Structure 1
Amino acid sequence: MTEYVLTAIDTTRIQDYIFGSNRLAENIGGSELVEMATHQWVYEALPPNNNVDAATVTLDSSRTIDTLNAEVLYTGGGNTVILFKTFDLARAFASRLTRRVLREAPGLELVIAHHRFDWARDSLAQVVSTTLGVDLARKKQNRAFSTPLLGLGVTVPCASTGLVASRIVEKKPVSLEIRAKSSKSVQNQSLARLREKLPKIQQGDWEIPRDFDDLGRIKGEESYIAVVHADGNGIGKRVEAIANRYYEPQQNRAYIKAIRTFSQSLERAATRALISVVDLMADAFIADPELAGHHRQRFPLRPIVFGGDDVTFICHARYGLSLAVRYLEAFEKATQGEPAFDGKPAYACAGIAIVKTHYPFARAYRLSEQLCRSAKQMLKQEKIEGSAVDWHVAMSGITGSLEAIRQREYSVKQGLLHMRPLLLRDSNVSWRTWPVFKTLLDEFIREDGEWFDRRNKAKALREALRQGQDAVRDFLSTYQLDALPKVGTINVADYEKTGWAGDRCIYFDAIEIMDLFTDVQRIVSEFVTADGV
């Protein structure tokens, strides 16, 4: 009998840990600590004689558990899975890792589960599935919830967390958790990882933002930011399919190779997609020095969570939609070229929350998550395989769920004012697609068009759309217009004279976002064309 121990590591309440602060540097620090705790510190806590190549910090597939004390199977999807030769080695590893997390990342909670199994008789795929889906879930449910001591005697609360402050930093009381997130070493490591993964972000002499106010606010404009959250579709099903394909004990090594290849392929694809986003923004700054000047040479984009299919970045509000669409397009293309995807693209959804700069960041992030789920739900309901995007502009405070907000703010007698969520690409199933929306939006914002710089006219149309089809006909008559802008792919009779396709408004979204949209791709394309490249 060859008995090994499978150890699975997961984090809990990760969103609260990363996004619970209204200070960007603390969000960045929280994200970096999570990255360190699930990668670097894991590798450093392993016993000697493991499969992590110290020089490249990658997994050496030629070294396997039969000659090692520990073999890391994969890291991804928020989990780390490791094989240990003995239970004592696994327990000692868990002790080293958790002690370090307690010391260097206060407030971050890890859950670790161990599972003994027989390599020759048990299916590793089933053991991994049970450990992740049952053992870790049970530990999360049954763990003793942390109840921080809020202070004895005379204490001062942390300005960010409300916990007991342990020190005054820059005239603000901060807790141990915030001290760790804000430490110079963690901030510098985050910046170094950003520059390593996304090299073009430092090509120009631009300031990389460390505060929400540094996201390139343009003088004379209201200050809005976009919180973009993107997530791969059906990743869990792909992992499950790999497990089902290598279900027999004699396929254990083949399973390891397959799941590791998938995890690495997914990480590379997501990283390439984010590189494409950063490159596009950098190319726009290079193409239009005046644009960079408007932003006072501050790069208006900062990734917060990256390295897997779950990506979150923030940017100046005007670029949120354009950059989110670029990410989805690049993710599809990158996955198509990865071996684990057999030449077929994987898909993803993105949610974009556009909020005022000092809006509570945790709420803005939760809204972006809801929007991403909304896009996924639309794909599921319509039984469409593809990518999708959804967004919301919060001009004021947000109360209630996304569904409640839209019922309250976008539901009128005629139907729903919004056409969101949108499919990323043209479809035979639905006219609610990004190309359709973008064509309409271009009509409202192009400088040589009849709608450009005529805000009163656009505002009047918006109010007419709220009142229904008859009001739109009256609007056309009043402004002596034959019709509203047309899109050839909308196969609905008279929509350009009524503004509606059944119970869905066609034009409202474009009018609402026209002041908060810049086509980054067009800036770059026009520069390339003018330069003759």
Structure 2
Amino acid sequence: MPERYLVSFDTDRIKEYVFATEKLREIRGASRLLDSLNDEGEMQRFMASVGPNYESIFWGGGSGAVLAPSWEAAERLIEEVETLYRTETVTASISGACMPINVESDNFGEKMKAAGFRLRRAKDEKAARLLPGGEAFTQPCASCQRYPAMTVDTDDNAALCASCARKREKEKSRKREGKESRSFDDLNELGERSRPSGYIGFIQCDGNNMGDLLTSLPKSDSYKDLAKGLRTLIEESTSKLPTESHEVLLAGGDDLILVTTADIALDAAICIAQRIENQSPALLDRVGLSGSKCTVAVSVVLAHATFPIAAFRSLADQLLKNAKRKCAEEGYRTSVIDFMVVTSAGSSDIATMRDEVLTEKSFVFPHGERKIRLTKRPYVLPKLKSLIDYARRCKDIPQSHLQFLYEGLFHSQAEAIYRWGKVAGRVNDNNRKVMDEFYRDFGDGIGGLPPWQSNRDEVPEGVDAVTALGDLIEIYRFV
């Protein structure tokens, strides 16, 4: 049987490398450096310089897979690729692992999964190593504050470490070559274009069960086609967004991170998820997985442009986990989006914040032991689209009325019901119709007590009533 060696690669702590700094120039440069290192053509040429008879399965998104002719050739390639990463980036690294494989067998996907376990061990061994430190009293890098400064940028006299200097130089070289056409230099400029001014959206997207889809494929050719197709699908999912209102910060594998103006953030999240759902069936059909589609979990954080990138990431990660759990509950049949509006300093733990603020615990006048939730997040894709549509239709309702309704939610269940009726009696017929239709779609409809929903089929187990009214009013300014 023809035996070769499967070599699997994956970039270590890719987000830590890209987001080691708050500076947009360095974040851009880091992302572009990794894009260059993972370019299919570039890696083909690099492998040819290492030795003959390497066959590329795929490269991109921070990972790759290669067939090597021998164990020695596989080990040599791993060593050379790891050296390349360290040379080009200074602080980024990549891990590799190899195993024998019969290329004519019908279990290539399973072999890739097994190689992934070996790769995980290699990555864990690296994780225990200490980062390089600086000598006592050395000046820290002005950008990342993590490594000692080694050079000074002549543009702004910033003292930079070797890694950040390399990132910044990559950004400059792209501008010189005319490959970087973004018209904003920092997130504050992006926020100035937003409505309301000063706010931006931070979006994180992660594919559902992409690994399982790949594992199910028997042949290397179909695995290669699907891996490349999924990467292209994720990367091109933002192509319909206005160029001047967003920027992709990281596109790796089935992960996507971008920033947008606040007023398009939720629409952008929906557009990305919908595009992936709509275009994935044709891709899956080509590799023999007919009748399937790809779905994603998405998190959106809306906050002031001065909000730290590290804080954006932390909140987005937590929201993404919520969305992932909801995706699992839905059997991965639909994409799910969770979001948060940060308007002031608060808890960095979303679960704690929602338990303390968006439940009956925040009532001024609680009603005994009833369990109440003041949010229906996270939302499946169709429901969030509907919620945004209602938020837009509520633009004719005076903002003071909406604020009156919002404050009532935190007073008591009875007060919220009273205020709903009071506002419904004050607005015109068209706005009253919008309120009625909203409660029909997000409440109990006729016979219910708006804005509360207590239908057992719609309310989480152990909860007596929920409402989506607070969610609508929170996003009102951003749609």
**Counterpart selection for 2:239 from 252, 261, 275:** 275
Q: Does 1:313 align with 2:264?
A: no
Deviations 1:368-417 (A, max 9, x none): 23222211211222446111111001112353432122112212256111
In 2, the alpha carbon distance for the partners of 1:354 and 1:194 equals 29
**Counterpart selection for 1:499 from 447, 451, 457:** 451
Q: Does 1:99 align with 2:67?
A: no
**Counterpart selection for 1:232 from 184, 207, 231:** 207
In 1, the alpha carbon distance for the partners of 2:110 and 2:421 equals 68
Q: Does 1:509 align with 2:471?
A: yes
Determine the structure 2 residue equivalent to 1:70.
Answer: 54
Determine the structure 2 residue equivalent to 1:7.
Answer: 7
In 1, the alpha carbon distance for the partners of 2:238 and 2:194 equals 28
Determine the structure 1 residue equivalent to 2:30.
Answer: 30
**Counterpart selection for 2:166 from 166, 180, 190:** 180
Determine the structure 2 residue equivalent to 1:395.
Answer: 343
In 2, the alpha carbon distance for the partners of 1:193 and 1:353 equals 31
Contact 1:113 1:136 in 2 (8 A): yes
**Counterpart selection for 1:472 from 401, 409, 416:** 416
Contact 1:49 1:69 in 2 (8 A): no
Instruction: Sort the Cα spacing of 1:146 and 1:38 in 2 relative to 1 into closer, same or farther, 3 A.
Output: farther
Secondary structure in 1 matching 2:223:
helix
Secondary structure in 2 matching 1:461:
helix
Secondary structure in 2 matching 1:337:
helix
Deviations 1:218-272 (A, max 9, x none): 4995511101111221112212222xxx2xxxxxxxx111101111221232233
Alpha-carbon distance, 1:36 to partner? 2.3
Deviations 1:67-91 (A, max 9, x none): x610011235642110111233333
**Counterpart selection for 1:437 from 381, 387, 398:** 387
| Structure 1, unaligned runs of 5 or more | 51-67, 196-201, 247-254, 283-298, 426-432, 518-533
In 2, the alpha carbon distance for the partners of 1:79 and 1:149 equals 24
Secondary structure in 2 matching 1:336:
helix
Instruction: Sort the Cα spacing of 1:435 and 1:3 in 2 relative to 1 into closer, same or farther, 3 A.
Output: closer
What does 1:84-483 align with in structure 2 at a 5 Å threshold? Answer: 84-117=68-101, 119=103, 124-133=108-117, 135-143=118-126, 145-162=128-145, 163-169=147-153, 170-183=156-169, 185-189=170-174, 207-218=182-193, 221-242=196-217, 246=218, 255-276=219-240, 278=241, 281=242, 299-306=244-251, 308-338=253-283, 339-340=286-287, 341-342=289-290, 344-383=292-331, 385-412=333-360, 413=366, 415-425=372-382, 433-445=383-395, 449=396, 451=397, 454-476=398-420, 478-479=422-423, 480-481=425-426
Letter in 2 for 1:408: E
Instruction: Sort the Cα spacing of 1:301 and 1:104 in 2 relative to 1 into closer, same or farther, 3 A.
Output: same
Instruction: Sort the Cα spacing of 1:128 and 1:191 in 2 relative to 1 into closer, same or farther, 3 A.
Output: farther
Instruction: Sort the Cα spacing of 1:456 and 1:506 in 2 relative to 1 into closer, same or farther, 3 A.
Output: same
Letter in 1 for 2:80: R
Q: How high is the TM-score relative to the length of structure 1?
A: 0.76
Determine the structure 1 residue equivalent to 2:462.
Answer: none
Q: How high is the TM-score relative to the length of structure 2?
A: 0.84
Contact 1:159 1:173 in 2 (8 A): yes
Alpha-carbon distance, 1:34 to partner? 2.1
Instruction: Sort the Cα spacing of 1:38 and 1:471 in 2 relative to 1 into closer, same or farther, 3 A.
Output: same
Secondary structure in 2 matching 1:500:
coil
Contact 2:246 2:259 in 1 (8 A): yes
In 2, the alpha carbon distance for the partners of 1:219 and 1:112 equals 43
In 1, the alpha carbon distance for the partners of 2:178 and 2:33 equals 12
Letter in 1 for 2:99: H
Letter in 2 for 1:351: S
Alpha-carbon distance, 1:138 to partner? 1.3
Instruction: Sort the Cα spacing of 1:329 and 1:222 in 2 relative to 1 into closer, same or farther, 3 A.
Output: same
In 2, the alpha carbon distance for the partners of 1:408 and 1:435 equals 27
Deviations 1:127-154 (A, max 9, x none): 3222212x11111222363424432254
In 2, the alpha carbon distance for the partners of 1:384 and 1:17 equals 30
| Structure 2, unaligned runs of 5 or more | 361-365, 455-464
Deviations 1:286-335 (A, max 9, x none): xxxxxxxxxxxxx1211112364321110111110011111111111121
In 2, the alpha carbon distance for the partners of 1:393 and 1:71 equals 48
RMSD: 2.9
Letter in 1 for 2:121: R
Alpha-carbon distance, 1:46 to partner? 0.3
Alpha-carbon distance, 1:343 to partner? 5.8
- Of 217-226 and 353-362, deviating more is 217-226
Q: What's the % identity of the aligned pairs?
A: 18
In 2, the alpha carbon distance for the partners of 1:462 and 1:194 equals 47
Instruction: Sort the Cα spacing of 1:369 and 1:148 in 2 relative to 1 into closer, same or farther, 3 A.
Output: closer
In 1, the alpha carbon distance for the partners of 2:274 and 2:99 equals 40
Alpha-carbon distance, 1:361 to partner? 0.3
Letter in 1 for 2:202: V
Instruction: Sort the Cα spacing of 1:398 and 1:78 in 2 relative to 1 into closer, same or farther, 3 A.
Output: farther
In 1, the alpha carbon distance for the partners of 2:178 and 2:84 equals 21
Letter in 2 for 1:461: L
Instruction: Sort the Cα spacing of 1:117 and 1:352 in 2 relative to 1 into closer, same or farther, 3 A.
Output: same
Alpha-carbon distance, 1:157 to partner? 0.6
Letter in 2 for 1:172: A
